Amino acid sequence: MSERRAFLDRSVGETRGVVTIDDRPERLLIRRDGDDPRTSLGARLVARVASVESALATAFLDLGGAEAILPFRPDQRPIRGASVEVEIRAEARRGKLPIARLVGPGEGEPRLLAPPPTLEEALRSYVRDGDIEDGRLAREVADEAEAEVLEVLHPLPGGGVLAIEPTRALTAIDVDLGERKGADAKRVARQANLAALATAARLLRLKGLGGIVVLDLVGRGHDGNALLAAARTAFGPDNPGVAIGAVGRFGTMELSLPRRVQPLAERLCTESGALTPRTVAQRLVRLLETEGASNPGARLEGRCAPEVAIEASPLVRKLGERLGARFNIVSEPTAAREFVEVRAI
């Protein structure tokens, strides 16, 4: 039976929660100072109906400085200008507003009624038994999870490679046998495809990806019933809302997965795929924090690119309030954005 564990890594400006399954990261949750709680999964609000698009069965909501959309059934068509109580059921993603569900009529001006679950509460919803682990191990696990989120190629148990590439329309997954060996080619392909389904389910949860997924299986003459059963098991934790199609004539399996959280790559990277200055700044602050805790008397200097220094400076001031005013940020004009270095001074 699979074992799930929960980890919580607290740092200045950012807290990361991780769920692992059999010691592999399955979910990564990130909260940063400055996040808007009104648009986070699970937040409950009073909103004003700003406009109604009947042809699309969608209303646009004013959350009081933020926006969301509200899909509705014909018998639930909201009235423009009305107050409604809603809950955020899908976070914003690049180019898309968050999606709300109707709770009932609301009263008063747009406002937050109940914040989203804390990271501890969210972790408990996935791992009900055992303690939530923190400290150095939690940081190592969170770093590993963050690195895996950003990878495209992922090794399969027993050999082979899985490639996961999101596009605007769907997420494409390719299964490659790689160095996987065996005398019976059909059996080798079957084992690789079964491993790919389990691995893909874990990685899609980790990366925060949903919507249409197309899995390009390896080999021919697939055992459709066995693959369908394996897919139902692998994607069971994502229910409700999972739909799985049969293996098609071209050897692909299509799935539809619910979208709930912002894709982690969008959280960590720019649209071009480079790490954001804030992401690199958080990495630098964690390095300073770790080194500062290990060497209580040392004065430390963090070196980074100019745009990262802008993001890191206020975080380092907060770190100084916690561990003493012995940290400094140096901007390196010619440094690449991902460059960070910590040294004693």
Torsion from C-alpha of 304, 309, 311, 317, nearest 10 degrees: 110
The type of residue at 67 is: E
Q: What is the DSSP string of 29-79?
A: EEEETT--GGGSTT-EEEEEEEEEEGGGTEEEEE-SSSEEEEE--GGGPPP
pLDDT at 145: 98
The tens digit of pLDDT for each residue in 149-198 reads: 999 999 999 899 999 999 999 999 999 987 777 667 788 889 999 999 99
- How does 136-174 read in b/e, with b if 16+ C-beta sit within 10 Å? eebbebbebbbebbeeeebebeebbbbebebeeebbbbb
Contact 43, 89 (CB under 8 A): no
pLDDT at 183: 60
Give the number of residues written for the chain.
345
pLDDT at 186: 85
pLDDT at 75: 85
The tens digit of pLDDT for each residue in 112-131 reads: 999 999 999 999 999 988 89
Q: What does the alpha-carbon distance between residue 265 and residue 334 come to, in Å, rounded to a whole number?
A: 26
Where the chain has pLDDT below 50, the residues are none
Instruction: Give me the half-sphere count of Cα atoms (radius 13 Å) on the Cβ side of residue 124.
Output: 6
